[in-house]
Structure 1
Amino acid sequence: MVRILMVDDEPRVLDGVRRNLASHFSIEVALSGAEGLAILERNRHSTDPFAVVISDMMMPQMNGAQFLGKAHQVAPDAVLMILSGQADLPSTIAAVNDSNLFRFIAKPCSPHGLRSAIDDALRQYQLVHAERELLQKTLAGSVDVLSQLLSLGNPDAYSRTTRTSRLVDTAARSLHLSHVWELRAAAKLSQIGLVAIPPDVVDRVETGANPTPEEIAMYATHPQVAHDLLIRIPRMERVARWIAQQNSDGSHPAENDEEGFCIDVLAVATKFVAARQQAEEPTATARRLTGTCRHRPDVVQTVLHAATSAGHSDEIRELTVRDLRLGMVFQHDVLATSGVVLVRKGDTVTEAVKIRLANFAATVGVNEPIRVAEGTPAGAA
């Protein structure tokens, strides 16, 4: 049943709303703006969030406009309405401008009228969510295509992308971040700027094999290259910004700075993967990042846990290129018979990878059998 939060300092009003509408909606009530915010905060990461928030205007300590302005920050997806018998014009304007107010309902309001207004709010809620879901699926599909193209052009960069994505995905779930799809997109595209840098330069820098200062400077540009490519795509502006900051030493974001958290998670994950390229153990990486950088210690520890967790690994199988299935994980580097690395250990079988291997198998040749597992390998980072 759809969840509605009703805030009013008059208990009889709340009792009347529950009595008349409880059979249609799941009604929760609060006697003040502060109590309403506490309820929304407890439900911030709920899988069954409040769809509609209704507030009285004239309440002590915090009026309806002030409450809904704060409520919009905590529950940005909820549709907000005012139900009030008295309100001055400036407060009403503030409610509309500061909290994206959907409707102002005048008291007294009949149960039928209130239910009709809530039904309209729910249609708005469903419309916004449907558009967002379509947008996110479209963007997610585009991100996957770009990521798979990277696997064809630069298997090493794609391997780092895969490892970064696994760390970010695990950390985002553990930290209960809300911008998960954008963070996943940032992880998948974090290395795309490397297509502009010669692979041998990338290898020397990432393995510490005596790169020149010019090569180090060239490598350092890849996050900005990715930003400049992605910033042109509508709705990817935030993803582009996060990627541009992946090499930062952290800004120690505050508890309520979720975007800062996301940037920190991406930056820490990419540093763990880069350190692993130079054979640094994850625990040593964590000590270094905690001691010399401004990354949040809880973010570092969460990524460390993701990097060192055993993960899941199904029975190892040895297959030919023809028998590979989507989602399988390579347990070793896959080489062409000429010695060229086609896929790195830890990468996942995708459509693009299957096509690449099939084409090499039909021409140059691929070293078979190929060892794979159905699940995520241990030590993926």
Structure 2
Amino acid sequence: MKKAKVLLVDDDGIALLVHKKMLEGYSHVITATNANDALELIKKDSSIAVIVSDQYMPEMNGIELLQIVRTMAPAMVRIMITGFADLDVAMQAVNMGNVFRFLMKPCCKEDLVLAVADGIDKYCKITGGTLEHEVLTEQLTEREREVLIMLGNGFTSGEISLAMGITIGTVKTHVNHIFGKLEVNSRIKAVARAKKIGII
């Protein structure tokens, strides 16, 4: 299944690379080396689930960036990471940017992965499963979506075959692909899952 998108923002290229490597197996990582580039990426892509921003960057710091992100993309979960143990910064980040987690550099892989995983879970709850809907909608082909809608309307394989002008064997192939993508093993479960996440 396609991974959730995570935006890393840090003017330290080495830290950016290290943190990207830590997260690559768990999420689809996008990077920016400054706040303005990060905001441009967010404008172009509304499906980013989590942003992890450094605090001390030129032109615009992390708190200022996360404040703007809070307004631009309220559902995006905001995580702050910084190399300076500053309680005032932490409080500002929480109060002004409504930050979900506050991490300290150097940040170990376990802490970063856990914080981002929790952030993705929170994003999915906020959006009511929008991420899952988006992932599965992208995975299903147009034909598979048509078959799924007809299954939802109670059509048999023979009726779907006639309506779509394809063989029963092709219908069964589509159904099997649908089962695999929705991770179910029956038509009833496929329809129930599709309805639950808003595909049909």
TM-score by length of 1: 0.32
| Shift in alpha-carbon separation, 1:32–1:87, aligned structure 2, 3 A | farther
Whether 1:30 and 2:32 are equivalent positions in the alignment is yes
Residue 97 of structure 1: aligned partner: 95
Deviations 1:294-339 (A, max 9, x none): xxxxxxxxxxxxxxxxxxxxxxxxxxxxxxxxxxxxxxxxxxxxxx
Partner of 1:267: none
Q: Counterpart of 2:79 in 1: which secondary structure? A: strand
Alpha-carbon distance between aligned partners in 1 of 2:112 and 2:91, rounded to the nearest angstrom: 21
C-alpha distance in structure 1 between counterparts of 2:85 and 2:15, whole Å: 17
Q: Residue type matched to 1:28 in 2?
A: I
* CA offsets 1:112-140 (integer angstroms, 9 cap, x no match): 221011111112112222399xxxxxxxx
Local SS of the residue matching 1:29: strand
Contact 2:8 2:20 in 1 (8 A): no
Listed as ranges, the matches of 1:366-381 within 5 Å are none
Correspondence for 1:2? 4
The higher radius of gyration belongs to 1
1:169-188 alignment to 2 at 5 Å?
A: none
Q: Deviations over 1:240-281 (max 9, x none)?
A: xxxxxxxxxxxxxxxxxxxxxxxxxxxxxxxxxxxxxxxxxx
How many equivalent residue pairs? 128
**SS in structure 2 at match of 1:51:** strand
Query: Displacement, 1:87?
Result: 5.2
2:86 counterpart residue number: 88
Deviations 1:215-253 (A, max 9, x none): xxxxxxxxxxxxxxxxxxxxxxxxxxxxxxxxxxxxxxx
Higher RCO, 1 vs 2 (CA within 8 Å, ≥6 residues apart): 2
**Distance (whole Å) between structure 1 residues aligned to residue 17 and residue 26 of structure 2:** 15
Report the 3-state secondary structure (helix = DSSP H, G, I; strand = E; otherwise coil) of the residue aligned with 2:74. coil
Structure 2 residue matching 1:58: 3-state secondary structure: coil
- Match of 1:77, as an amino acid? A
- Letter of the 1:114 partner, please give it: L
Equivalence for 1:128: 126
Report deviation, 1:91.
Answer: 3.0
Aligned counterpart in structure 2 of residue 60 of structure 1, from 58, 62, 79:
58
- Give the structure 2 partner of residue 114 of structure 1: 112
Which one of the candidate residues 61, 68, 71 is aligned to 1:70? 68
Q: 2:59 is paired with a residue of what secondary structure?
A: coil
> How far apart are the structure 2 equivalents of 1:81 and 1:59?
15
1:15 offset after TM fit, Å? 0.9
**Distance in 1 separating the partners of 2:72 and 2:89:** 20
8 Å contact 1:57–1:87 — kept in the other structure?
no
Secondary structure, counterpart of 2:81 in structure 1:
strand
Structure 2: which 5+ residue stretches go unaligned?
131-200
Rounded to whole Å, the distance in 1 between the matches of 2:26 and 2:37 is 24
| Distance in structure 2 (CA, Å) of the matches to 1:7 and 1:115 | 16
Is residue 9–residue 32 contact of structure 2 (8 Å, CA) maintained in 1? yes
Cα distance between partner residues in 2 of 1:102 and 1:68 = 11
Q: 1:39-67 deviations in whole A, cap 9, x for unaligned?
A: 111124xxxx1110000011111111001
The change in CA–CA distance for 1:62 and 1:87 in structure 2 (over 3 A counts) is farther
Q: Superposition RMSD on alpha carbons, in Å?
A: 1.8
Q: Take 2:111 and 2:89, find their aligned partners in 1: how far apart are those partners?
A: 23
Q: TM-score, normalised by structure 2?
A: 0.60
Query: Cα offset for 1:110?
Result: 1.1
